[in-house]
Copies of this chain bind each other. A is one copy, B any other.
Amino acid sequence: MYSVTSAVHPFTPHFSKSVAAWGEEKLIAAIQRWLGSVSPRTPFGIGDDCAVLPAASGRQLLTVDPVIYGRHFDDSVPPRAVGAKLLKRNLSDLAAMGGRPQAAVLALTLDAQVSCSWLEEFYRGLAACARRYQVSVVGGDLAQAKGIVAASLTLLGRPAGKRVLTRTGARQGDWIYVTGLLGDSVRSGHHFTFTPRLAEGAWLARQAEVRAMMDVSDGLAKDLHALTPPGVAPALDATLIPRRAQATLAAALGEGEDYELLFALRRQADQAAFARAWHKAFPRTRLTCIGQFVSAGKIPPAAVDLTAFHGYEHLRDKRRRKPTAAS
């Protein structure tokens, strides 16, 4: 369980403590100071019209994800954890393709009454996380808008090995695996304390028997759909789905913010040997086979009815959600 004693409200009623009192120039200088060693010198970092990235070759990976006050965090999340969560959400996307991070830029949209101390903690949390995962924060933008605390981070990375693992490639008969535990992410604090599965993702991309991969962020029931090829359906065993202590099956399937890896293992694979190799590489990361891709017409009656668990859909109004009983 997560303790909320260090929570800080992003807004201040005192003008002198607000970002508006500091103004853009002073704020940008402070941001560079808070980022410290993860902020390279100009022109490789903050301070010019663009950041210059040193010459390198090979394919790249690019992803973008935000954190928005009231949606991805609230007053119960310490600002350091908000900054770290912003980067970790993007690292999880990179992990899902077998990537390693390189550089990030950050677009910040703030109400004039956001407190400088909240912002400092946010950046210090981001910086600590960036140091840990060797990400340079090379640029950003600062904009003002009423009532908003939002940050959008774009992450640039490279394949950790030779292979980039995509969502496409699973076939009928393939085994479905998931890392870690699912459900109850928001209440337990997992949604910001999680560790992005970068090492695991890089390892999985090196295994030829792993055919397709993604991260679970909107709930297993919804996300698994993207891994499922045409004519095929996932047959999951409800008793196998790894749930966090207080999570119901519905929470594990539909709540989202799990940031775990979901992948398909070739049906001919030696599952026992694969499990042994995994546990040798990652003795502390749980791995569970939760089912198999079967022919769409041949779902066993005992399999989980995924249509009953919708998963988190952005921009979907509750008025239009199907009631669980009717679906």
A interface list, Cβ under 8 A from B: 15, 18-25, 27, 42-43, 47-66, 68, 70-72, 92-94, 96-97, 99, 103, 105-107, 109-110, 112, 138-148, 150, 152, 154, 156-157, 164, 166-168, 214-215, 313-317, 319-320
Per DSSP, chain A at the interface is mixed
Instruction: Report chain B residues within 8 Å CB of A317.
Output: 15, 18, 20-21, 23, 112
Cα A70 to Cα B164 in complex, Å, equals: 41
Contact (A66, B107) CB under 8 Å given A157-B50, A167-B49: yes
Contact (Cβ within 8 A) B106 A315: no
Instruction: Report chain B residues within 8 Å CB of A320.
Output: 20-21, 23
Identical subunits present:
2
Question: Can you list 18 residue pairs at the A/B interface with Cβ under 8 Å?
Answer: A21-B317, A22-B315, A24-B313, A42-B167, A48-B166, A49-B63, A49-B93, A49-B214, A50-B94, A50-B96, A54-B59, A64-B107, A71-B145, A72-B143, A109-B152, A110-B315, A145-B150, A150-B150
Contact (Cβ within 8 A) B141 A315: no
A69: min CB distance to chain B, Å: 8
